[in-house]
Amino acid sequence: MKKKNHKYIFVVGGVMSGVGKGIACSSIGKILQSKGFKVNPIKVDPYLNVDAGNMNPTEHGEVFVLDSGLETDQDLGNYERFLEMDLSSADYMTSGMVYKHVLEKERNLGFKGKCVEAIPHITDEILRRIKKAADFHESDISLIEIGGTIGDYQNILFIEAARTLKIKYPQDVIFIMVSYLPVPGSLGEMKTRPTQNAVRQLNSYGVQPDLIIARGVEALDYKRKEKIAMACAIAPENVISAPDIESIYDVPLNFEKDKISSIILKIFHLRSKTNGNSLKDWKEFVHKRAKAQKEIQIAVVGKYFDTGDFVLSDAYVSVIEAVKFSSYWNGVRSKLTWINSKEYEVGTRKVSELKNYDGVIVPGGFGESGVEGVIMSIEYTRKNKIPYLGLCYGMQLAVIEYARNVLGWSDANTAEINPESSRVVIDIMPEQKKLLEEDRYGATMRLGAYPAILKIGSIAFEAYKQKEILERHRHRYEVNPEHIEEIENAGMVFSGVSPDGKLMEIAELPREIHPFFLGTQFHPEFKARPLHPHPLFSAFVESCIRVKGKK
Ligand code: GLN
């Protein structure tokens, strides 16, 4: 049973994918928060993967990790960033997850011999999960984003579940369609027909949208709002104009130009719990972004940048956003240049080009290809005192570079690449090794939030200004405890370690040796927020600005 008066907003996509349902959902949530409501976002991914862990980031975009360790779609990252929330496993659902639960229940006689069917058993399980998430967050309004586009077979059961909820609680459920209005080059005008067709398709499922968010390259004029309204049986005011804009963080303010919050609250018979000043902090951030003009140059050196046809900004979206937040609050814009490390290996680029950058980031990664090129760039960055931030693999490879070039262990390596090396400085932990031998890859990663204790006086401690931190992980390998003492004696400082002292979480070089050289075993980018930039990214950006100033 749902909480009395609890409201549900289902967000579906019309016409085509990739038009920004996730950002629309996050923005609506942000606006409702500013009206004093507690919201909880849920992402529904219709694919059969049980989670996003085994999905290729170059095809599907970044795998976003929650505190709980659940590997999810990048949209959860947008929700967390916009809504300033730490989401839970209850806030993400895939068809695979739903089916798995129902099938296991069937195997355990959970249906007491009844015939188990997609409707109602799968739809009931979908609704059970939606209600569970609302209860967990004790929210007033749930925002449920249904992945895919209207007309897909895969998401029909989710829409059917939502429809039954609307039948049961007509006052408490609304549907928003995020649609797209193309401007064919030959005509030069916005066409409404695909949207009309998408709404008809949704109608054929027994669902009528309450609002339509009309995405497009331009703003929607009133004439076209009326046309959509007439064809789709919806008030013209309920068609929200959502043109392409420079920054996704402007979207909430843009939606409010068309009064989206008052329309939603009116349908729900709710009144704003706040007055004036809504979105004040958000506006300050948007203003900071618009004002930041000075540019710093950051090279991102990695190994996945050569597949040609995938969108980099998707595979590394959290890193990119984390850099942006810290940059804007420091009054600068960061221009990121993506460098494929393999080019350093084959000589089509020279590492000395890195002297033209104000900072270097090496993000996470897996496997062997391009790794030697990354190590070459770390060596150059370290020796030439260019600010360096290594994220996960970027920390492990920095330790390997140090072992090879400072300690002279020329074949130092990670067990991921060469377990036969005479110095395996990055190794699999014994518990993980056993699982790997049994081919249970899914279970071999350290996933989710783990605490670390920081060394007082270190760069990390100065950045966080606290002794204990909690950061999210997604990796198999760790600094090998056998070599820690020798590496530290050679000057590298492990400034963050697990509470039991066994796992090295942060590696850095002292300030006297290098202006900023730091790597993290965890992924700080998952916890960076527009209104709360991540302290390590901020420390990195600040050092880039300082070093640039001295050039
Ligand atoms: N491949 C490394 C590991 O598994 C690093 C993973 C990462 O960068 N996320 O430990």
Q: What is the pLDDT of residues 418-438, one digit of tens each?
A: 999 999 999 987 767 766 666
Three-state secondary structure along 417-434?
Answer: CCCCCCCEEEEECHHHHH
Domain 8-284 and domain 292-550 have a common topology: yes
* DSSP-derived secondary structure for 136-154: HHT-SEEEEEE-S-BTBST
Q: Is 62 a catalytic residue?
A: no
- pLDDT in the model for residue 1: 58
Residue in the structure block whose two tokens are 């090879």: 404
Given a contact cutoff of 8 angstroms between Cβ atoms, the answer to whether 528 and 534 are in contact is yes
| Residue 531 CA, ligand 1 centroid: distance in Å | 28
CA-367 nearest atom, ligand 1:
1
Q: Burial letters for 384-407: b for 16+ Cβ neighbours within 10 Å, e otherwise?
A: eebbbbbbbbbbbbbbbbbbbbeb
> For the chain, how far is it from start to end, CA to CA, in angstroms?
64
> Is there an atom of ligand 1 within 6 Å of 393 CB?
yes
Distance from C-alpha of 203 to C-alpha of 201, rounded to nearest angstrom: 5
Residues of the chain with pLDDT under 50: 309
Centre a 10 Å sphere on the Cβ of residue 28 and count the other Cβ atoms it contains: 28
For residues 362 and 398, give the distance between their C-alpha atoms in angstroms, rounded to a whole number. 9
Q: How far is the CA of 368 from the centre of ligand 1 (A)?
A: 11
The beta strands (E) that lie in 228-331 are given as 239-243, 294-302
Q: Under CATH, to which class is 292-550 assigned?
A: alpha beta
Check pocket membership of 366 for ligand 1, CB cut-off 6 A: yes
3-class SS at 7? strand
Q: Are 551 and 336 in contact (CB under 8 A)?
A: no
Q: Is the CB of 472 under 6 A from ligand 1?
A: no
How do residues 17-57 score in pLDDT, each as one tens digit?
Answer: 888 999 999 999 999 999 999 999 999 999 888 877 777 76
Distance in angstroms (rounded) separating the CA atoms of residues 269 and 170? 12
Q: Distance from the CA of 392 to the center of ligand 1, in angstroms? A: 6
300 Cα: distance to centroid of ligand 1 (angstroms): 17
Domain boundaries, the chain: 8-284, 292-550
* C-alpha closest to that of 354 among 295, 405, 296, 300: 300
Q: Is the CB of 392 under 6 A from ligand 1?
A: yes
* CA of residue 18 relative to chain centroid, distance: 15
pLDDT at 439: 63
Residue type at position 400:
I
Nearest to 297 by CA among 356, 361, 364: 356
So what's the pLDDT on residue 456?
96
With contact defined as beta carbons under 8 Å apart, do 186 and 219 qualify? Answer: no
Of 217, 139, 151, the closest CA to residue 16 belongs to 151
Q: Is residue 473 helix, strand or coil? A: strand
**Residue 121 carries which DSSP code?**
I
What letter represents residue 281's amino acid?
A: D
CA distance 222 to 386: 53
DSSP 8-class letter at 63:
P
Angle of helix 535-550 relative to helix 317-329, nearest 10 degrees, comes to 60
Q: For ligand 1, pick from 62, 393, 395 the residue to mutate: most ligand atoms within 8 Å of CB.
A: 393
Q: Give the span between the Cα atoms of 153 and 112, in whole angstroms.
A: 29
Sequence length of the chain is 551
Tokens of 404: 């090879």
512 in active site? no
Backbone angles phi, psi at 332, to 5 degrees: -130, 165
Q: Is 392 a catalytic residue?
A: yes
CATH class belonging to 8-284: alpha beta
pTM for this predicted structure: 0.91
Q: Are 104 and 116 in contact (CB under 8 A)?
A: no
Residue closest to 428 by CA, chosen among 468, 479, 462, 473: 479
Q: What angle do CA 123, 126, 127 make, to 5 degrees?
A: 90
